[in-house]
Structure 1
Amino acid sequence: MSASVNHEVMPKKRFEFLDGIRGWAALIVVFGHTMVGVIALDAPDFVHQIYLKFITHAYLSVMIFFVLSGYVLSISQILTTKRNLAITTVARYFRLLIPVFVVTVIAYLFLKMGFFYNVESSTTEEAKSWLGRFYTFSPDIIDALRFAFFDTFFNYDGQHTYNSSLWTMPVEMMGSILIYSYIAIFRVMDKIYWLVAAVLVVYFYNVSPYMFCFMAGYMLAELKIRQRNFTNGITQVLLVLLFIGVIFYDTFNRPATDQGNCLEAVILIFCISYSQPLMHFFSNSFSKYLGRISFSLYLIQIVVICSWSSYLRIHLPAYGFGIYVDAIINLISTIAICIGFAHLLTPVDIAAVKYSKIIARKILYIKTGETKPVEIG
């Protein structure tokens, strides 16, 4: 494990499966929120089938996002020969901000034009507890801009939000800073301080499970860079069995704590990282497509659920199809619209990745008056 690694020959293709995992996790978030948050209000028997338990577990998917963020950010920092803590931190903010800003504007326009039906649709206490909580305020453009640029990342308020999915953004920013800072301080000259990382993993597991996800992602990245694959046939079988075992456990004994959900996320990603069949599945063309649209899909889903899905919940019963046909129509159309929206928004996400570091460099050069950034590491 202590052998040096030639970063120059690391093929990017080796890590494509990470995008695939993110894509499927985003799809599960959409599926879970639509099923549990909307369809279960009228057709609980349709939703609460034992075989649907895992793929409606949206919260676990969010924990997977956090582990993946730690994993991917660590790889990008470890494999680069030049690091700059200030630039990467500011760039991370703009990389997240640009898609957040666009989706916030969409939500503002929907609210302004009366396209949200979630409050009208929420006629029971069960519905009001989740679906009916959103978009209960009057739209204000200054408020929306402040939300997108500042509140989302530094002062998020779940009671006054233009997108309830954005509760994860403060965690993403804090976790990103944790990873960048750790690597800048402890990952120098290809030396790894395993003990320090392990202590932090244990500490965060008990104190801050979300940060545990990021640090666990860092350790997974270090391991993957050094131990490319397990070729032993028995090991491959055991990895698939462990992956299935976690799904089985989550189905019949879903963890009630953040720690349990975070640990499940880490184990699932570990299994995929070293299992050839699982890596192949999460690297196929459809998985990679889901990965490309994953952030946009995650951001837009609550807008679609509070508009289209809620509208259908109000008006579909009048056609007399029955609750189960209504449920299928709502589910399929919601997922299709979310994917369509996400596909259209993907160029925004690509632009955010492309221009975030450019913006960060320009801001920091102007602010410091330097012509060249100070390299860290």
Structure 2
Amino acid sequence: MSTSPTPVPPAPRHLRYLDGLRGLAALGVLLNHYLTAFYPTMLTGEAATAHLPQWPGFEYALAATPLNLLRSNGVGVCVFFVLSGFVLSEAYFRRPHPLTLQAQAARRYLRLMLPVAASALLGFAGLRLDWFRNDEVAAVSGAAWFGRSWQTQPSVLQFVKDVVFDIPLAGEPAYNPVLWTLHLELMGSFLVFALLAFFGTARNRGLIYLAAATLLFLSPWNLYLVAFVLGVALNDWHRHGPAVPAAGRPWLVGLLLLGFVGLGSYPTTYFTGLAASPYRWLLLPRLGPDHSELLHHIAAAALLLGAVLLSVRLQRLLQARWLVFLGSVSFGLYLLHFLVLGSFSARLFLGLHARLGYHLSFGLMALASVPVLLLAAYALHRWVIEPSSALSRRVYGRWFQPRPAPAPAAAE
């Protein structure tokens, strides 16, 4: 199952509303994993795994109606990738110089992989110490996808190999299922740097973005990479494109948001009733449900960001303190939430379920998990992610940053 969003660089201070958007996307991903681990019909639409028979159709509605946006994981992942393209290109568009891209590229691996290694180490310890109870929860809830996590017991040597090579190059999820996105984040980051290095000052950059997105769509590479190109294109349009007349902005924002709702709520490939749902009309010819889902969710993420860039009201809403805080710790939340779900949350639910009803056990478990998730995410952000960023700056300054040219000798 596709899981969480990838880490996005912090937004510049004048674009803090992007942190709020990132926090909103992180909240959607977290809700998706918790809800569908215990109420899998919200993902698949299958009546056999429904746990709310007193509300017939409610769980199905969260799988195949616009309500799907409340727990949509796929569009959340795409929002993060589009934001990566946007924010990674921001420094270059503010200072279009090769050294800007060099500094970002030289620091990117360390900034990502040190926190990821910490997350993988926790997952490895959890496997060795038998922390996880996801399979037992799946037996009760019917969430087969959740039960398939943490199925192997890698050796220490295999763990080292996976952290150094397989996670950044192939997204190895053995220790933490959300790590499947890391190789896409690295590939997408360097795609952004290459696109800007070769074409960042070209006159007809819009055509180049279109050609790059088309080639990626037709290529055997992962379709998610298109989202990074769209993020760069949106930033370029935001900075250098023609101004939208004030009178037409509300209408355009409304259309973009309608498009976001329609495309962003497209069901996942786990949904079994696509042929009978209104979304069948969005199934693209000659493409399977998985490619249709990806294209619709990528387009929805771009439409949402476009609406935010055009609407001062949306920007103000997204600068709510709780959303900005979620955005600031979203990388830590991404790296840890699935580990907490499979261990602390799963164990607490099973202990409560032996004494209380299913729904009360889920509710109490969810309430108890919120502070654990927030504290764990903040701790990782404070003690691992921020030091990793500082270390990457020091390494770049010592080993990669060009030295200033010596001053010419004074004439005698």
Q: Normalised by the shorter chain, which TM-score bucket?
A: 0.7 to 0.9
* SS of match in other structure, 1:123: helix
Q: TM-score, normalised by structure 1?
A: 0.84
Question: Structure 2: which amino acid aligns with 1:25?
Answer: A
Whether the aligned pair in 2 keeps the contact of 1:282 and 1:288 (CA below 8 Å) is: yes
C-alpha distance in 2 between matches for 1:231 and 1:319: 61
Aligned to 1:246: 260
Whether the aligned pair in 2 keeps the contact of 1:240 and 1:275 (CA below 8 Å) is: no
C-alpha distance in 2 between matches for 1:55 and 1:67: 19
Which residue, 322, 331, 337 being the options, matches 2:366? 331
Which residue, 341, 353, 356 being the options, matches 2:376? 341
Question: Structure 1: which amino acid aligns with 2:117?
Answer: F
* Alignment root-mean-square deviation, CA: 2.8
Question: Structure 2: which amino acid aligns with 1:296?
Answer: G
How far off its partner does 1:201 sit? 2.3
Aligned to 1:167: 180
Aligned to 1:271: 307
Aligned to 1:118: 134
Which residue, 117, 120, 131 being the options, matches 1:101? 117
Aligned to 2:410: none
Answer yes or no: is 1:75 the counterpart of 2:87: no
Aligned to 2:211: 199
Which residue, 184, 187, 191 being the options, matches 2:200? 187
Whether the aligned pair in 2 keeps the contact of 1:104 and 1:163 (CA below 8 Å) is: yes
C-alpha distance in 1 between matches for 2:404 and 2:181: 33
* SS of match in other structure, 1:319: coil
Whether the aligned pair in 1 keeps the contact of 2:137 and 2:147 (CA below 8 Å) is: yes
**Residues 78 and 176 (structure 1 numbering): CA distance in 2 closer, same or farther, change over 3 Å?**
same
* SS of match in other structure, 1:116: coil
How far off its partner does 1:81 sit? 4.9
Question: Structure 2: which amino acid aligns with 1:40?
Answer: P
C-alpha distance in 2 between matches for 1:214 and 1:330: 36
Answer yes or no: is 1:356 the counterpart of 2:370: no
How far off its partner does 1:270 sit? 0.8
- Aligned identity (percent) is 24
Aligned to 2:234: 220
Which residue, 92, 96, 100 being the options, matches 2:108? 92
Which residue, 138, 145, 170 being the options, matches 2:160? 145
Whether the aligned pair in 1 keeps the contact of 2:256 and 2:306 (CA below 8 Å) is: no
* SS of match in other structure, 1:53: helix
Q: TM-score, normalised by structure 2?
A: 0.77
How far off its partner does 1:259 sit? 0.8
Question: Structure 1: which amino acid aligns with 2:21?
Answer: I
How far off its partner does 1:43 sit? 5.6
Whether the aligned pair in 1 keeps the contact of 2:178 and 2:335 (CA below 8 Å) is: yes
How far off its partner does 1:48 sit? 4.3
**Residues 211 and 184 (structure 1 numbering): CA distance in 2 closer, same or farther, change over 3 Å?**
same
Question: Structure 2: which amino acid aligns with 1:186?
Answer: F
Whether the aligned pair in 2 keeps the contact of 1:78 and 1:183 (CA below 8 Å) is: no
**Residues 33 and 125 (structure 1 numbering): CA distance in 2 closer, same or farther, change over 3 Å?**
closer
How far off its partner does 1:143 sit? 2.9
Aligned to 1:15: 15
Aligned length: 354
Q: Which 5+ residue runs of structure 2 have no aligned equivalent?
A: 1-10, 42-48, 53-57, 267-277, 283-288, 406-412
Whether the aligned pair in 1 keeps the contact of 2:135 and 2:146 (CA below 8 Å) is: yes
Deviations 1:130-164 (A, max 9, x none): 21222222254333333222211113344xx1111
Whether the aligned pair in 2 keeps the contact of 1:31 and 1:335 (CA below 8 Å) is: no
Whether the aligned pair in 2 keeps the contact of 1:153 and 1:169 (CA below 8 Å) is: yes
RCO higher in 1 or 2 (8 Å CA, sep ≥ 6)?
1
C-alpha distance in 2 between matches for 1:229 and 1:193: 18
C-alpha distance in 2 between matches for 1:292 and 1:335: 16
How far off its partner does 1:88 sit? 2.7
